[in-house]
Structure 1
Amino acid sequence: MREHDEVEQLVVRTFQDHEVLAERGGDMLIQGVRRRAARRRRLRGGVALAAVGFLAVAAGVIPSLLGTGRPNPAPAVNVAQPQAGWRWESSLGAQIAVPQDWAVNDFGCRNTARSSVVRAPGAQPQCVGQEYPEKESAYIVGIPSGWIDDRFAILDSEEVNVDGVPATRRFGQLENGHFGGLVVIESRQLQVAVETLQAETAERILASLRLVDTDHSGCPTRRPQPSGVGTGPEPRTVPPGQLVPPDADTIAICWYERNSPGDSGPPKDRIETSARVAGEQARGLAAALNDAPAGGNPDVRESCAEPAQVVPDLLLLLTVGDETTRLWGTVTGCSGRGWDNGTARATITAPTLELVAAPLHASNLTLPGN
């Protein structure tokens, strides 16, 4: 058993040596290694093989966490790519990496057996979906949330840091035999939960958790101050093709929280989620925006309750070369709706809104009365 202990110590020392280089997730990774090492000391055999298998998994995690060696807790734009076969998902100022083939918001009473990330789920029917033993899930949701149940309560809790922000973390095997983890960041009113078939998958997702000011799509995770929206004289007529650049290389689509009707509190400003389109898809969306009728949408008065403060739901960032054009979209209020680039306004039509909502997987982003 001495050689087994030496292998375990090698694993721990390896992560300790690299912990100072990790941009994010290092705290949670090293704590996970220590817990696994303690569990392996209780085994009677196969320790060396387990350690080698863990190192193979760690080799895939570490490259996505290593930076330049300088702390950078909130990059201006996070352009780092997750490892091959994985993708970023963003919501509420956090982002995680999940397997590329996972669905989005495949949960609840309409769920399938396909594994899924859940973020910005919106209103859902009150029903219980079928349980699929092979299904894996990851959640980015606020506090409180009706989407995370108490299945994680059986797991021990520990104090950790996520990008320097205090958090609590639970991780271990659940009663159904799956592996689960839950990170709660009270100060951000945020929680991230995972449930997977393999412990390594859950660890990798939790270790990828980042708190960002600008997410992987290029969207500010707090809604910027909308300049020119809803101010000034009557909007001028939109010249054909002038609402947005028709030859956009990329379009970042940023969707933000809104207050509920009757909510008198300050405007919510966290990002619901984001997406980025490029090439022909970006130019097709730009063409649809430029074909929008001039002027904003008519006000909705019947059966419409207005929040105390009306703010835009959407920010589109259209990039051509080194230049970026902002286009704001106000969708779900009773008044002041439409596209606005600061000097010109246009009508949000249902077909164009569908082009915007599709990359977001936002089925609940619709026009009132449509």
Structure 2
Amino acid sequence: MRRSAAAAFTLLVLTMSACAARNQAPREVSASAGPEVSASAGPEVGASAAPEGWRWESYGGIEIAVPGSWGWANGSQRLHAWCITRADELARPVVGRPGAVATVGCWVGGSPDPITLVRKTGQLVTFDRTTEPPGMRQEGDQTVVLRDGVMITVNAPQEVRQRIVGTIRRVDVDSYGCPVEHPIGLHPQQRPRKPVDVASLRDVASVSACKYEVAGGSGSSSPRLVSSLRLDGSAAAGAVREIAKAPVGAGPNAPQTCLPEVSYGDEAIVLLVRSAAGPTEILLRYDGCDHNGFDDGVSVRTLTAAAVAPLIAGPNVVFNFSGPQEKLPILRPS
């Protein structure tokens, strides 16, 4: 789970982490929210197709297929704060990743434990890091799979649960073209290895948006892929054009609000762009109190809502961040 914890459960939860405000809005995201993203791998990725009508979700080197209609949520909140989840939220199946949890004590224990029951948590798949040995356990409507340092929790009716669990697989590069590990995880200050002015990119074919943990922020000594999506064709070209429109100059930043060692935040997104210039990278830093912006290796451009939006849709939705409130309408638009 992320190192920060929410102090209150409101539309916006402000917390303090190493002198930096962590902002959380716990609303869930439907599968239809935001721009359309690719749900199957392109030919350059070479991954097997998900079952018809399903899509792949990846985390930390593990991929799992889920029904394409499932949305996304703060997995920690949905699973561990089940007693304050609204009925309309429970009705929406979701895929969740680690996030801050409201300080509310939901009852645990008994047989079966409420946290294992669909009527308490709704249908969900959640990911988290774990140090437990590989294995599997089942209780109520829940199956927990421990594999390669990842805990996958599946709460669903038996038939659906078994089908989902049966798709779990290990990957080095996921179905959207994102490597499980990237140097930015251990070296958040690094710049793209092949500098190319984003405004010069032509014939953009696809953009893989790969979200990674960042060492120092996440607390992990082996930061890994958190989530990913891929834009293809006109959607990819449009995303690159919006980045090129953003003004040169980093931000929004507020370096005075946090310690330098955590100023990059918990996460960063690496954009793998495929265009006439060949494979290139753009680094999207958004999570910390400082160093925010799009870095193509030539210059750093300011975060804008239009440029950021397609890259933080769906599985890459941002639930927590540090830094100035000016980032709220960019990262958590209403």
TM-score by structure 2 length? 0.65
Change (3 A) 1:116 1:225: closer
Is the CA contact 1:357–1:365 (under 8 Å) kept in the aligned structure 2?
no
Distance in 2 (CA, whole Å) between partners of 1:324 and 1:251 is: 10
Q: Quick one: which amino acid aligns to residue 123 of structure 1?
A: A
Q: Give the structure 2 partner of residue 300 of structure 1.
A: 254
User: Is the contact between residue 104 and residue 361 of structure 1 (CA under 8 Å) also seen in structure 2?
Assistant: no
Does residue 167 of structure 1 match 2:134?
yes
Q: Which runs of 5+ in 1 are unaligned?
A: 1-75, 146-165
Post-superposition CA distance 1:150-193 (Å, at most 9, x none): xxxxxxxxxxxxxxxx721124x61xxxx4311113xx331112
Aligned to 1:220: 179
**Cα separation, partners in 2 of 1:230 and 1:138, compared to 1, 3 Å:** closer
User: Is the contact made by 1:267 and 1:309 (CA closer than 8 Å) also made in structure 2?
Assistant: no
* Residue in structure 2 matched with residue 241 of structure 1 by the alignment: 199
Matched, 1:183 2:145: yes
Q: Is the 8 A contact 1:307 1:333 kept in 2?
A: no
Show the counterpart of 1:117. 95
Normalized per residue, which structure has more helix? 1
Q: State the partner residue of 2:62.
A: 94
Structure 2: gaps (5+ residues): 1-43, 107-114, 327-334
Aligned partners of 2:198, 2:136: CA distance in 1, in Å?
53
Given the alignment, which residue of 107, 123, 127 partners 1:136?
123
Over the matched positions of the two proteins, sequence identity in percent amounts to 25
**8 A contact 1:240–1:291 mirrored in 2:** no
Question: Does the CA-based 8 Å contact 2:188-2:214 persist in structure 1?
Answer: no
Is the Cα–Cα contact under 8 Å of residues 202 and 275 in structure 2 kept in the other structure?
no
Task: Please give the alpha-carbon distance, in whole angstroms, between the structure 1 residues aligned to 2:137 and 2:274.
Answer: 41
Show the counterpart of 1:328: 283
Q: Indicate the residue corresponding to 2:170 in structure 1.
A: 211
Query: What is the CA-CA distance between 1:268 and the residue it aligns to?
Result: 4.8
Q: For this pair of structures, how many residues does the alignment match? A: 258
Give the conservation status (yes or no) of the 8 Å contact 1:116–1:137.
yes
Q: CA deviation at 1:247?
A: 3.4
Give the 5 Å matches for 1:53-132: 77=45, 79-105=47-73, 107=78, 108=82, 109-110=85-86, 111-118=89-96, 120-127=97-104, 132=119
For 1:256, the equivalent position in structure 2 comes to 212
Q: Larger deviation: 215-224 or 275-284?
A: 275-284
Counterpart in 2 of 1:64? Answer: none
Aligned to 1:352: 307
C-alpha contact 2:289 2:322 (8 A) present in aligned 1: no
Give distance in 1, aligned partners of 2:190 and 2:216. 23
- CA distance 1:329–1:367, change in 2 (3 Å): farther
Q: Which residue of 2 aligns with 1:18?
A: none
- Taking structure 1 as the reference length, the TM-score comes to 0.59
Q: What is the aligned partner in structure 1 of residue 156 from structure 2?
A: 196
1:284 equivalent in alignment to 2:252 = no
Matched, 1:273 2:227: yes
1:32-69 per-residue CA deviation (whole Å, 9 max, x = no partner) reads xxxxxxxxxxxxxxxxxxxxxxxxxxxxxxxxxxxxxx
Q: How far is the alpha carbon of 1:220 from its aligned partner?
A: 0.9
Larger Rg: 1
> Do the aligned partners of 1:113 and 1:135 also contact (CA within 8 Å) in 2?
yes
Alpha-carbon displacement from aligned partner over 1:200-220 (angstroms, at most 9, x marks no partner): 321221121111111111001
1:246–1:290 Cα contact (<8 Å) kept: no
CA RMSD of aligned residues (A): 3.7
SS in 2 for 1:220: coil
Distance 1:367 1:349 in 2: 16
Distance 1:321 1:208, change over 3 A: farther
CA contact (8 A) 2:198 2:240 kept: no
2 CA distance for matches of 1:141 and 1:87? 19
Aligned partner of residue 51 in structure 2, secondary structure:
coil
Identify if the C-alpha distance between structure 1 residues 115 and 308 changes in structure 2 by more than 3 Å, giving closer, same or farther.
closer
8 Å CA contact 1:143, 1:189 repeated in 2: yes
Q: What is the CA-CA distance between 1:78 and the residue it aligns to?
A: 5.1
3-state SS in 2 of match to 1:302: helix
- Is the partner of 1:123 in helix, strand or coil? coil
Amino acid at match of 2:127: I
The answer (yes or no) to whether the contact 1:297–1:347 under 8 Å persists in 2 is yes
Contact kept, 8 Å, 1:223 with 1:270, in 2: the verdict is yes
Q: Within 2, Cα distance between the matches of 1:313 and 1:341?
A: 14
